[in-house]
Amino acid sequence: MYADDETIREILRESGDTWAVVGLSANEDRAAFGVARVLQRFGKRVVPVHPKAETVHGERGYATLADIPFPVDVVDVFVNSRLAGPVADEAVAIGAKAVWFQLGVIDPDAYARTRAAGLAMVMDRCPAIEIPRLS
């Protein structure tokens, strides 16, 4: 309902290669850590966004999306659904082209706002699953 193959392909292939991963830290036990590694293998630049602003997978981290001093193409969201809507709004504010809510991250109102702002969006999906499925 909130993700079709055409939109997923568009984000993965055409939206750009700089992905801000919100919720990405150096904690190897978190899903964001592994998914970020897959994105890198697929040729994406992964920018960690986490309050600790840690360097992860060789990329400097930032505390917020607004702190990133260069353009971001896609914002990949690994925070809980309650916090995801404001992150989507920040993605619109920084001029991202797309927003990706990970598995279990669901906010229909944020989806509607983000799409109305002209961004591509996927919700409740994982690019680490979609990349091999659509390749």
Tens-place pLDDT, residues 40-65? 999 999 999 999 999 999 999 999 99
35: closest CA among 118, 132, 120, 112? Answer: 132
- 23 dihedral zone (left: phi>0; alpha: psi -120 to 50; beta): left
pLDDT value of residue 2:
87
Is the pLDDT assigned to residue 1 strictly greater than 80?
A: no
pLDDT value of residue 119:
98
pLDDT value of residue 113:
98
Mean pLDDT in the chain? Answer: 96
pLDDT value of residue 48:
98
Q: Give the C-alpha separation, 30 to 20, whole Å.
A: 16
Q: Give the C-alpha separation, 34 to 131, whole Å.
A: 14
Environment class of 87 (CB within 10 Å of its CB; exposed 0-12, middle 13-18, buried 19+): buried
Q: Give the C-alpha separation, 13 to 19, whole Å.
A: 12
- 41 dihedral zone (left: phi>0; alpha: psi -120 to 50; beta): alpha
pLDDT value of residue 126:
96
Percent of the chain with pLDDT over 70: 99
Is the pLDDT assigned to residue 135 strictly greater than 80?
A: no
Averaged pLDDT for residues 83-98: 98
Nearest-5° Cα angle at 109, 51 to 74 = 50
pTM for the model? 0.96
Cβ–Cβ contacts within 10 Å for residue 72, how many? 22
pLDDT value of residue 134:
85
